[in-house]
Amino acid sequence: MSESSRKKLTISRDEIRALYAQGEDAVIALVEGLLERTTVLEERVEALENQISKNSRNSSKAPSSDGFKPRVKSQRRKSERSSGGQPGHPGATLEWSEEVHHVEQHSITACSVCGQSLSDVAVAAWDLRQVRDMAPIQLTVTEHQAEVKCCPQCQTLNRGEFPPHVNSGVQYGASLKRLMVYLLRFNRLRCCTATRRECGLKVSSGGYMLPVPMA
């Protein structure tokens, strides 16, 4: 197992957004790297499982090596402090974002103590909080329209050329295909269920088996 595959994989949402902004090739490279890493880890797990399952009956191991070893009792004395961060320990919080995409205002209609109406009272200040989340996945449909013109001189019916990747009446786009392959191979999810839940699209059982363009 390589040294790189032993390291813990960490990637922040901002880094993912930065990769997305770099374009399609950057996202493809990331997914391919994750798939390669997953394959290496799966092979490692399989090798360890095979090693654990061996005993004196199905291998050349000595009988003394069979069974579970007794659990070693910790010699550490129990601390009176509670688990987790201790009082005074500096915590880590998300940074405040200056770029805001949506604003939701929560109005006050009446005083919480006396019930006096506050509808016409000017706002004294705003108490602000921010929520970071991913935008919902929205399915888009692009209709390709090729012109059809009749030559006035020879009466030949001429048709416009569709792009090479548009080769059937109704089809899945490259981005949706990549998403389905990612869900199937990396997350082991059923594409039919995932795409219906996330995109509102009903995919046939064989739809995600179509070849995926890599460029």
Q: How confident is the model at residue 215 (pLDDT cuts 50, 70, 90)?
A: very low
Which residues make beta-bridge pairs with 44? none
pLDDT in tens, 31-42: 877 888 888 888
- pLDDT for residue 90: 61
- How far from each other are the two terminal CA atoms of the chain, in whole angstroms? 30
- pLDDT for residue 9: 66
Domain spans of the chain?
Answer: 3-53, 148-204
| pTM passes above 0.75 | no
Report, as an integer, the average pLDDT of 169-173: 85
The DSSP secondary-structure symbol of 110 reads B
pLDDT of 211 higher than 50: no
pLDDT in tens, 83-139: 666 666 665 678 888 889 889 999 999 999 999 999 999 999 999 989 887 777 777
- pLDDT for residue 84: 62
Structure tokens at 202: 């009903």
Q: What angle do CA 47, 51, 56 make, to 5 degrees?
A: 155
- Of 62 and 95, the one with more pLDDT: 95
Closest CA to 23 of 176, 213, 175: 175
Q: Coil, strand, or helix at residue 198?
A: helix
